[in-house]
Amino acid sequence: MKDFAGKFAVITGGGTGMGRELARQLVAEGCNVAMCDVSVEAMAETKRLCEAEKLPQGLRVTTHVADVSIEAHLQRFRDELIEQQATDKIHLLFNNAGIGGGGSLFTNTREQWERTFNICWGGVYLGVRTFLPLMMKADEAHIVNTSSVNGFWASVGLGASHTAYSAAKFAVKGFTEALMTDLRLNAPHIKCSVVMPGHIGTSIVSNSRRIQSGAESDELSPNEILATRQRLNGMGIDTAPMSDADIQQIALDRARTFREEAPTTAAAAAKIILDGVKAERWRILVGDDAHKLDERVRQAPEKAYTPEFYKGFTEEVGWRLG
């Protein structure tokens, strides 16, 4: 698929971050876009940005409320797409939606753990299941599943448990790699790619907290303050002298710096992904940090979870995930 003009694309998690930038860049190339998200407001802003430059006549950008972990929501999204986009086929499927959280089997609830896993992995699986029949009707199509560097390195450092997200992203990577053969045998006109971003400047930290807590406010609950203290203590930071207000500010600063001080912007990430799709690359690493981490893990897999590995890597790439 060398260009996207006149094609139909589905993007999950289109309200912010890479999903928003994928939508903007696809529309700029003349591609019809149907996006879903749990936030009506975020999608409205994405649509506004897409339409800031006058759309070519007939080009459609539609928004659909859906939780990708719920199959009925995705099926409703599909049915709305068919009606509102006036098509029975799609050419591009970006299973992009994801959240963090629920990293520990000990300090997080089962509900938090499964919420993360069911969105990050279940959303990909259900997305493919739901939209594959529409891709079968296209003359060419491409499935793009977002994994992560946590799909080959299950850590964000020694001070934070990261089991739910990492397990989900490993699943996405394995599923997509296996899907290549399934498609080759049964639907050779459909290609697929697994995307493995490093640290990208998005709002995933703040968005994940809101989804996990069900709260719109940025103010941490007493339980969240306690969990943040535990995370910081695990990183070797003594939180005893810190007030709850101090902990709240640290959490706000972490979300801001993750978004604003990342080595790769969401817009740059989206361009790398779309260029990879055009080049029919099945494996798309996003960011210099992703390339360097991939190289380090391959060179010394037995050392990948040692303090020395993490210290050396973060010093090389400048990660400050906190």
Task: Output the tens digit of pLDDT for each of the chain's 322 residues.
Answer: 999 999 999 999 999 999 999 999 999 999 999 999 999 999 999 999 999 978 888 899 999 999 999 999 999 999 999 999 999 999 999 999 999 988 999 989 999 999 999 999 999 999 999 999 999 999 999 999 999 999 999 999 888 899 999 999 999 999 999 999 999 999 999 999 999 999 998 766 666 656 676 666 677 778 777 777 776 776 678 888 888 888 877 777 766 666 667 779 999 999 999 999 999 999 999 999 999 999 999 999 999 999 999 999 988 987 765 4
Q: Is 92 within 8 Å of 26 (Cβ atoms)?
A: yes
**Residue 216 phi, psi dihedral angles, 5° rounding:** -85, -25
Alpha carbons 205 and 100: distance in angstroms, whole number: 7
In 3D space, the residue among 39, 167, 194, 26 whose CA is nearest the CA of residue 100 turns out to be: 167
In 3D space, the residue among 59, 47, 53 whose CA is nearest the CA of residue 19 turns out to be: 47
| pLDDT at 206 (0 to 100) | 63
pTM value?
Answer: 0.90
| pLDDT at 107 (0 to 100) | 87
Angle at 91 between CA 265 and CA 294, to 5 degrees: 40
Q: How far is CA 31 from the centre of its chain?
A: 21
Pick left, alpha or beta for residue 228 (phi over 0 → left; psi -120 to 50 → alpha; otherwise beta).
alpha
Q: What is the largest CA-CA distance in the chain?
A: 63
Q: Is 96 within 8 Å of 12 (Cβ atoms)?
A: yes
Alpha carbons 171 and 179: distance in angstroms, whole number: 12
Alpha carbons 106 and 231: distance in angstroms, whole number: 12
Alpha carbons 268 and 276: distance in angstroms, whole number: 12
Q: Is 199 within 8 Å of 262 (Cβ atoms)?
A: yes
Instruction: Kindly list the domain boundaries of the chain, sorted by start residue.
Output: 8-202+264-317, 217-261
Quick check: helix, strand or coil at residue 59? coil
CATH class, 8-202+264-317 region: alpha beta
Angle at 301 between CA 297 and CA 307, to 5 degrees: 80
The residue to which tokens 């080009």 are assigned: 59
In 3D space, the residue among 141, 136, 108, 144 whose CA is nearest the CA of residue 7 turns out to be: 141
Tell me the C-alpha to C-alpha distance, in Å, between residue 115 and each of 7, 118, 121.
32, 5, 10
| pLDDT at 259 (0 to 100) | 62
Listing DSSP states for 232-282 in one string gives: HHHTT---TT--HHHHHHHHHHHHHHHHHS-SEEHHHHHHHHHHHHHTT-S
Beta bridge partners of 144: 94, 193
In 3D space, the residue among 208, 237, 220 whose CA is nearest the CA of residue 98 turns out to be: 208
Q: Is 16 within 8 Å of 202 (Cβ atoms)?
A: yes
Number of CB atoms found within 10 A of residue 216's CB? 7
**Residue 5 phi, psi dihedral angles, 5° rounding:** -60, 130
Q: Is 63 within 8 Å of 82 (Cβ atoms)?
A: no
| pLDDT at 322 (0 to 100) | 44
